[in-house]
Chains A and B, each alone.
Chain A
Amino acid sequence: AQSVTQLGSHVSVSEGALVLLRCNYSSSVPPYLFWYVQYPNQGLQLLLKYTSAATLVKGINGFEAEFKKSETSFHLTKPSAHMSDAAEYFCAVSKSGGSARQLTFGSGTQLTVLP
Chain B
Amino acid sequence: DADVTQTPRNRITKTGKRIMLECSQTKGHDRMYWYRQDPGLGLRLIYYSFDVKDINKGEISDGYSVSRQAQAKFSLSLESAIPNQTALYFCATSGPTGDYGYTFGSGTRLTVV
Contact = CB atoms under 8 A, between A and B. Distances in A.
Q: Do A and B belong to a common assembly? A: yes
Contacts of A34: 101
B42 A108 contact: yes
Contacts of A102: 33, 45, 48, 58, 98
Contacts, number: 57
A42 interface: yes
A42 B106 contact: yes
Contact of A32 (B33, B92, B99, B104): B99
Contacts of B45: 102-104
Contacts of B43: 44, 90, 105
A43 interface: yes
Interface in B59-113: 90, 92, 96-107
Classify chain A's interface size.
20 to 34
A2 to B, nearest CB: 13
Interface stretch (A45-53, A61-69, A71-79): A45-53
Nearest to A90: B42
Nearest to A96: B99
A43 B101 contact: no
Interface in A1-25: 9
Nearest to A42: B106
A99 B42 contact: no
A27 interface: no
